[in-house]
Amino acid sequence: MKTIRIGIAGGAGYTGGELISVLINHPHAEIVFVHSNSNAGKPISDVHTDLFGDTDLKFSDTLSQNIDVLFLCVGHGDAKKFLDANPINENVKIIDLSQDFRLNNNSTLAKRNFVYGLPELNRESIKKSDNIANPGCFATCIQLGLLPLAASGNLNSEIHINATTGSSGAGQSPGATTHFTWRNNNLSVYKPFEHQHLNEIGESLTHLQKNFIEEISFIPQRGNFSRGILAAIYLESSLSLEQAQKLYSDYYESHPFTHLSLKNIDLKQVVNTNKALVYLEKHGNKLFIISIIDNLLKGASGQAVQNMNLMFGLDEMAGLKLKGIRF
């Protein structure tokens, strides 16, 4: 099988590091360059120290067009600027991990059309696409908790979401709310009812359920752990628990990374993996949903590689059969 030649732009951050770690162990991938202006010439393992002994690659400040796919791991708002400043050959596929092309009204750049890269929603479109807008981490976790209901027309009330993310979700650049002394033994709410991922969540749900007009109330929280997202969701539903469980089992039956659990779930089951787990309970007329992912893998770099696999006709799980650290 053909080896996929890969370029990575913005390789010094968390998502870039996770991507490199997955791809150097991918059976069909060859990393041609990892671009970083500020780290050019340095060994990648000087920045991503967990890769010491795994790769001799160095950061580059130049781009090669002799690649099959370019991953953009640059900051939000910088992907468009990067592509404007560095035109990429049309035969090179692009997978963008920023939010620049996720929304319908932001999905075009010159002749490039971006498909929203949530495989559990758009798998067939991803297979035929040359350009992918990788979903946000909160958006991935929350949508995987709701897609089966939307696909069956069962979103008929306000949706209430409380979701907590680890500190790596804020990126590698240090800030007041990522400093260890502030984050440790602490919990805080930010952007209540206004988080930017609400837009892509809403677009996906209305794509599946055209008449969905209900409010989505989302309270994001910063947790005092490094990685992972747990979303606790509830809404009114006439479905019995057994009916809801069948809906979810049937919807995710053909999706290898997303699974319905019949037992309560916790973050350590998915951290360091590309898996998503969903658990359901029924309380009176309310359906309660827990959804969990690793924000850096299924919420970012792992999902990006999953999309690459689909785009190039590979086994969807290639390079992604990762084992979490349970304790």
Report whether 293 contacts 228 (CB < 8 A): yes
- Residue 296, judged by CB atoms within 10 A of its CB (0-12, 13-18, 19+), counts as buried
C-alpha–C-alpha distance, residues 279 and 252, integer Å: 13
Q: Is there a catalytic annotation at residue 137? A: yes
Ramachandran assignment for 84, one of left (phi > 0), alpha (psi -120 to 50 degrees), beta (any other): alpha
Q: Tell me which amino acid residue 168 is.
A: S
For residue 31, give both structure tokens.
Answer: 């990393």
Give kind and range of the element (H or E) at residue 115.
Answer: strand 115-116
C-alpha–C-alpha distance, residues 192 and 81, integer Å: 29
C-alpha–C-alpha distance, residues 225 and 158, integer Å: 30
Kindly give the residue spans of alpha helices, DSSP state H, lying in 197-279: 197-208, 241-252
Give kind and range of the element (H or E) at residue 222.
Answer: strand 216-222
Residue among 48, 58, 60, 37 at smallest CA distance from 14: 48
Residues in the chain: 327
Q: Which of 32, 137, 142, 308 is catalytic?
A: 137
**Within 10 A of 193 (CB to CB), how many other CB atoms are there?**
11
C-alpha–C-alpha distance, residues 52 and 181, integer Å: 28
Ramachandran assignment for 171, one of left (phi > 0), alpha (psi -120 to 50 degrees), beta (any other): left
Instruction: Identify how many contiguous H helices and E strands the chain contains and give both numbers.
Output: 9, 16
Report whether 132 contacts 311 (CB < 8 A): yes
Catalytic residues: 137
